[in-house]
Amino acid sequence: MTRRIASSDGASAGGGKSRAGGQSRAGRAVQSKSDPVRPRSASSRADETRHDGTSDVSGSSLARPRTVSSNVGKERRDGRRDGKRSGRQVQSSSDGSRTARSSRTEAGDGAIREGFVDMRRMPSEDIVARTLEETAGTLGVPTRPKVVDFNARLKERRRANVRVVAARVAAVVTAVGVLTALVWLLFFSSVFRLETSGISVSGNNAWVSRDDIIAIAERQSGKSLLLVSSDDVVDQLKNIPGVTEASAVKKFPKSLSVTVKAQQPAAMLKDSGDGLVAVDSKGRVLNTVGDVSTDGIPVIEVKSVSDSLDSKAIKEALKVLGGLSDSMRGSITKVTAATQDSITTELNGGEHVVVWGDSSDLALKKAIVDKILSDPKVIGDKKQVDVSAPSRPIIHRV
């Protein structure tokens, strides 16, 4: 059974369907948000289709009558019921949306309030005071402020470099000047200069002249005491005949003390012309200082003094005599040196005769002679002691 519906009824019906369809779609949207996996029924899909079609018809500017089936009324009633349910769902969804929007708005307002900067509550800062504090020196005096002009900064850097170079040059010149003054003071000034008046001599005797010692020491005068070589002075002093030991001690600021150990002549060389020449153990001729007594000095008779100084026999005899004690050497009245290994001395005018041989093992030979001569039981009435072979000394009556 079919019937024709007036355009007004169709329009109203179409409007109702359109409203119902809109509410149904809103409800489905809310339902899809809340339960996206829930399936829709076939009747709902059909209603949606019809509602969309009705909405299109009602939305047109000219309503046209159409013929519908007898099920239109039933579908219309079902649509109204669905529309009411959808309307309630849409209303509840809209209320939830308004609540969410209000909560987001309140949260946004809170965030804005939290990030809001109130200029009235910000602490005030004195720019001038901060600048003075940053540019203040160690004593509180304001120093040079920051330079912004690069040309001025470049000029200032150049001036600083010039000052640095000038300071370095001044430091080098000052150091050179100080070093020069120190060198002059130590080596060329009169503060440490050795003068003749500052040289002292001790240890000389009648056979070693003081003048010879002074002459060697004066070679160092005029020099800075720092440049005086004590070793050179000692070596030169030992070359003086009769000097066995020597020392030179520098006493600052400008004094020199010289000490020598001068020995007595080892022997007197007597030639055929009755001339006497004092010589030491090394065969060097000693200088005679004034009138000197020759008592206690052994005498060696030679043909020629100058030739005998080169004789090996005389040199060995001088070594033997130089190694004897002063008491024994004082008791020697005659020395014979026919060969270099037959040195013989006569004691106390011929009381005893000692055959030394050569100068080897002289210390052992002296000890044996002293022991034999000091023990009357050993020497007895014998006169000659031969120690040329010290391991087998021989005593002869002669």
The whole-number pLDDT of residue 150 equals 79
The whole-number pLDDT of residue 370 equals 92
171, part of any domain? no
State what percent of residues in the chain have pLDDT above 70: 63
- Domain span holding position 25: 3-108
Average pLDDT over residues 56-62: 37
Q: Give the sign of the dihedral formed by CA 280, CA 283, CA 288, CA 289.
A: negative
**283 shares its domain with 344:** yes
Cβ atoms within 10 Å of 90's Cβ, excluding its own: 20
Task: Report how far residue 285's alpha carbon sits from residue 109's, in angstroms, rounded to the nearest whole number.
Answer: 129
User: How does residue 116 score in pLDDT terms, banded at 50, 70 and 90?
Assistant: low
Average pLDDT over residues 24-53: 42
**314 shares its domain with 390:** yes
69, part of any domain? yes
SS3 content of the chain, % helix, strand, coil (to 5): 50, 15, 35
**278 shares its domain with 352:** yes
**Domain finish residue from 236, 262, 288:** 262
95, part of any domain? yes
Using a cut of 0.95, tell me whether the model's pTM lies above it: no
- Residue 382, pLDDT > 70, answer yes
- Residue 36, pLDDT > 80, answer no
- Contact of 384 with 368, CB cutoff 8 Å: no
- Residue 345, pLDDT > 60, answer yes
The whole-number pLDDT of residue 53 equals 40
**387 shares its domain with 274:** yes
Average pLDDT over residues 345-354: 91
- Contact of 265 with 247, CB cutoff 8 Å: no
Measured between its terminal Cα atoms, the distance across the chain in Å is 198
**274 shares its domain with 338:** yes
What is the signed CA dihedral for 266, 352, 341, 323, rounded to 10 degrees? Answer: -30
Segment holding 247, helix H or strand E: strand 243-251
State what percent of residues in the chain have pLDDT above 90: 35
Over the stretch 5-20, which tens digit does the pLDDT of each residue have? Answer: 333 344 333 443 334 3
**Domain finish residue from 262, 280, 304:** 262
138, part of any domain? no
Q: How many domains, in total, are found in the chain?
A: 3
Over the stretch 160-197, which tens digit does the pLDDT of each residue have? Answer: 999 999 999 999 999 999 999 999 999 999 999 999 89
Strand partners, 277: 269
Instruction: Give which of 243, 245, 282, 288 is closest to 266, Cα–Cα.
Output: 282
Which CATH number fits the domain that encloses residue 332? 3.40.50
Over the stretch 128-161, which tens digit does the pLDDT of each residue have? Answer: 777 767 766 666 555 555 555 778 888 989 999 9
What is the signed CA dihedral for 254, 256, 257, 260, rounded to 10 degrees? Answer: 180
Written as one string, the DSSP assignment of 141-183 is -B-PPPP--HHHHHHHHHHHHHHHHHHHHHHHHHHHHHHHHHH
Instruction: State both tokens at 234.
Output: 């000692």
167, part of any domain? no
Task: Report how far residue 63's alpha carbon sits from residue 13's, in angstroms, rounded to the nearest whole number.
Answer: 11
- Residue 251, pLDDT > 60, answer yes
The whole-number pLDDT of residue 63 equals 38
What's the DSSP call for residue 220? G
**208 shares its domain with 283:** no
**254 shares its domain with 331:** no
Residue listed under structure tokens 């509180």: 140
The whole-number pLDDT of residue 138 equals 62
- Residue 279, pLDDT > 80, answer yes
**Domain finish residue from 77, 108, 139:** 108
